[in-house]
């Protein structure tokens, strides 16, 4: 896979920005917000100016006039500043999208700015309620791949949790058992503890330890009775590629697709980030595809069929640690309230 990255380092022309806006129109919503907030700012700033001029002409300066002016100016800033920052953030988002749109076009790739509730598969995202892909880039031929940023929500109401992850997916030739690599590099570190940041908690009796120092970088989950299959897939050279190229990504093999998730959104307009994504696809993705091209599930009656038995299709999950933390916090809060009421 040969990609040309020069366009990511070059500024956009007015025509390129215009073409992007025509392709992905957004209306004038953010501009309207900025104009109205600016009008409010001018109005309140004028009030401050009138108070200052009146005070100067009258030769008096009461405490009340100073307070009134300060309040008016504060209100103006409260209204204008967030709107201005929102507008700037949107302009930056548009500029990034236009750069990726140009990059994709020059490299024969397809760019899509937004996909609502995409059909992601896998155990790690099985509890997702809503989600949106931003700035997706994918190819059209050969080994199919795509990458982008995925914002999604798990749960609903007060218990809803929102996440933002950069992702890569690579299509494989064969159906494979469901396996997960939990990167230790992107875990949550609290008081020396290394807590997984996986959005779905997996049962610990599915953990499989591999040789070498691989276990210091990843925790491998494989279905029960599929340990030998995992050893067939995760050969020493594939493990070395994961460590060297993708140690900060969680990975999941589900069906005939490899999914990889960063711990946060990726700066896709950055040449270094795009080069790393391409390198991961070329090394890890290609090696995994070649390694598994001859895989067959021996538990299936017809060993020539591209099918995985029911036991190997999905890892078993458990309740997340954060649910217990939330329940514990809630109980401690009520206990503290009862103690407070009992004392006072």
3-class secondary-structure state, position 260: strand
- How many C-beta neighbours within 10 Å does residue 244 have? 12
Quote the CA–CA distance of 124 and 140 in Å, as a whole number.
Answer: 26
- Provide the 8-state DSSP code for 157: G
Residues 6+ apart with CB under 8 A from 112: 133, 136, 138
**DSSP one-letter string for 44-77:** HHHHHHHHHHHHHHHT---HHHHHHHHHHHHHHH
Q: Note down pLDDT in tens along the chain; length 344 residues.
A: 789 999 999 999 999 988 998 898 865 555 555 555 566 556 656 655 555 555 555 555 555 555 555 665 566 566 556 655 555 555 666 788 999 999 999 999 999 999 999 988 888 888 888 999 999 999 988 889 999 999 999 887 777 889 999 999 999 999 999 999 999 998 877 766 778 889 899 999 999 999 889 999 999 999 999 999 999 999 999 999 999 999 999 999 999 999 999 999 999 999 999 999 999 999 999 999 999 999 999 988 776 778 999 999 999 997 554 444 545 554 665 566 566 566 55
């Amino acid at each position: 896979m040969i990609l040309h990255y020069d366009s990511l380092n070059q500024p956009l022309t007015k025509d390129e920005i215009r073409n992007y806006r025509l392709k992905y129109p957004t209306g004038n919503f953010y501009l309207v917000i900025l104009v109205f907030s600016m009008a409010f700012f001018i109005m309140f700033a004028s009030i401050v100016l009138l108070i200052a001029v009146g005070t100067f002409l009258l030769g008096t300066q009461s405490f009340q006039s100073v307070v009134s002016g300060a309040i008016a100016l504060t209100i103006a800033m409260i209204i204008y500043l967030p709107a201005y920052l929102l507008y700037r953030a949107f302009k930056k988002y548009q500029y990034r999208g236009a750069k990726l749109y140009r990059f994709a076009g020059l490299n024969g790739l397809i760019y899509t700015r937004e996909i609502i509730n995409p059909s992601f598969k896998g155990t790690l995202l099985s509890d997702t309620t809503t989600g949106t892909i931003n700035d997706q880039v994918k190819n059209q031929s050969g080994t199919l791949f795509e990458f982008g940023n995925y914002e999604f929500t798990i749960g609903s109401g007060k218990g809803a949790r929102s996440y933002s992850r950069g992702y890569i997916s690579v299509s494989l030739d064969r159906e494979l058992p469901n396996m997960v690599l939990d990167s230790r590099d992107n875990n949550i570190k609290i008081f020396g503890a290394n807590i997984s940041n996986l959005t779905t908690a997996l049962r610990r009796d599915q953990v499989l330890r591999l040789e070498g120092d691989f276990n210091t970088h990843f925790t491998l989950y494989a279905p029960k009775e599929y340990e030998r299959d995992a050893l067939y897939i995760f050969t020493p050279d594939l493990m070395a590629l994961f460590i060297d190229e993708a140690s900060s990504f969680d990975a999941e093999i589900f069906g005939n697709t490899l999914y990889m998730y960063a711990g946060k959104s990726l700066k896709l307009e950055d040449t270094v980030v795009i080069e790393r994504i391409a390198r991961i696809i070329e090394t890890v993705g290609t090696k995994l595809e070649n390694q598994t091209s001859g895989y067959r599930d021996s538990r299936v009656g017809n060993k020539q069929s591209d099918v995985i038995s029911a036991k190997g299709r999905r890892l078993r999950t458990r309740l997340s640690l954060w649910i217990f933390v939330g329940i514990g916090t809630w109980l401690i809060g009520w206990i503290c309230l009862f103690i407070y009421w009992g004392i006072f």
